[in-house]
Amino acid sequence: KAGVTQTPRYLIKTRGQQVTLSCSPISGHRSVSWYQQTPGQGLQFLFEYFSETQRNKGNFPGRFSGRQFSNSRSEMNVSTLELGDSALYLCASSLVTGQYNEQFFGPGTRLTVL
Amino acid sequence: KNEVEQSPQNLTAQEGEFITINCSYSVGISALHWLQQHPGGGIVSLFMLSSGKKKHGRLIATINIQEKHSSLHITASHPRDSAVYICAVENNFNKFYFGSGTKLNVKP
């Protein structure tokens, strides 16, 4: 099975622009979660989508949004970029069987905001 | 206060040493995850546990639900174990909280 893929891998934007990142989960996985990782704050949970519905949301401003398509692929969007949005954005997919939710991570998209 | 506290933040060991990384949490959880992140960013899930103990090769993870504490042990450490180890807890609503990570450097 192919792993979780994320595109693009690297991205440079300027303040005020918007960006869309894409995540393709492992085939059969219906849950996709997004995380932001910065040197100062570590890993932080952004949101989780399951069957096209946002099921959970972290403590991020409304500039951060996402969606999930019927094939479970997910996108996240950041509008009006700020310098502090420079980070590694990771997505993870999971099968979600019963109680357990083992996460399989993609390689991440490294976003630099100038 | 962070929901998940890890210690130590940095750890240097000689090849062959036994290593322990600790994780304490303050929220109710459905599962605790140990993650490994190598330079370059890739994250691998090592363990997912909700009780007791799990073992994969030289890695052992334990959890004490009553004390809200988990440990990750590495036996016979090797330079290829050098990475950042992250403890994450999943609450009953599938929301994740992360520790700040432990940077491990195993010297040959």
Question: How confident is the model over B43-89, as pLDDT tens digits?
Answer: 999 999 999 999 999 999 999 999 999 999 999 999 999 999 999 99
- Share of residues in chain A with pLDDT > 90 (%): 79
Residue A114: exposed, middle, or buried by beta-carbon count in 10 A (0-12, 13-18, 19+)?
A: exposed
Mark out the alpha helices in B1-108 (DSSP H runs).
none
Query: Which residues of chain B are at the A interface, by a Cβ-Cβ cutoff of 8 Å?
Result: 30-31, 33, 35, 41-45, 48, 50, 86, 88, 90, 93-101
- CA nearest A56 in B: which residue? B95
What is the pLDDT at residue A64?
A: 97
Asked if A23 and A5 count as a contact pair (C-beta separation under 8 A), the reply is: yes
Asked if A35 and A43 count as a contact pair (C-beta separation under 8 A), the reply is: yes
Q: In degrees to the nearest 10, what's the CA dihedral of A110, B1, B5, B8? A: 90
What is the pLDDT at residue A100?
A: 61
What is the pLDDT at residue B72?
A: 98
What is the pLDDT at residue B53?
A: 95
Q: Which residues contact A99 (CB under 8 A, 6 or more apart)?
A: B30, B31, B50
Nearest by CB: B45 against A33, A90, A104: A104
What is the pLDDT at residue A1?
A: 66
Asked if A4 and A89 count as a contact pair (C-beta separation under 8 A), the reply is: no
Q: Which residues of B touch A43 (CB under 8 A)?
A: 86, 88, 98, 101
What is the pLDDT at residue B73?
A: 98
Asked if B30 and B81 count as a contact pair (C-beta separation under 8 A), the reply is: no
| DSSP at A100 | B
Rounded to an integer, the average pLDDT of A38-53 is: 91
Instruction: Inform me whether the pLDDT recorded for A99 exceeds 60.
Output: no
Q: Which of A113, A103, A112, A108 is CA-nearest to residue A36?
A: A108
Asked if A32 and A92 count as a contact pair (C-beta separation under 8 A), the reply is: yes
Name the average pLDDT for chain A.
92
Instruction: Inform me whether the pLDDT recorded for B21 exceeds 90.
Output: yes
* Min Cα separation B7/chain A (Å): 14
Rounded to an integer, the average pLDDT of B28-57 is: 91
Q: Which residues of A touch B92 (CB under 8 A)?
A: none
Asked if B56 and B49 count as a contact pair (C-beta separation under 8 A), the reply is: no
Name the average pLDDT for chain B.
93
What is the pLDDT at residue B12?
A: 97
Instruction: Inform me whether the pLDDT recorded for A39 exceeds 90.
Output: no
Q: Using pLDDT thresholds of 50, 70 and 90, give the confidence band for residue A98.
A: low
B92 or B21: whose pLDDT is higher?
Answer: B21
Q: Which of residues 1-30 of A touch B (CB under 8 A)?
A: none
What is the pLDDT at residue B22?
A: 98
Distance, CA of A95 to CA of B48 (rounded, Å): 14
Q: Does A43 touch chain B (CB under 8 A)?
A: yes
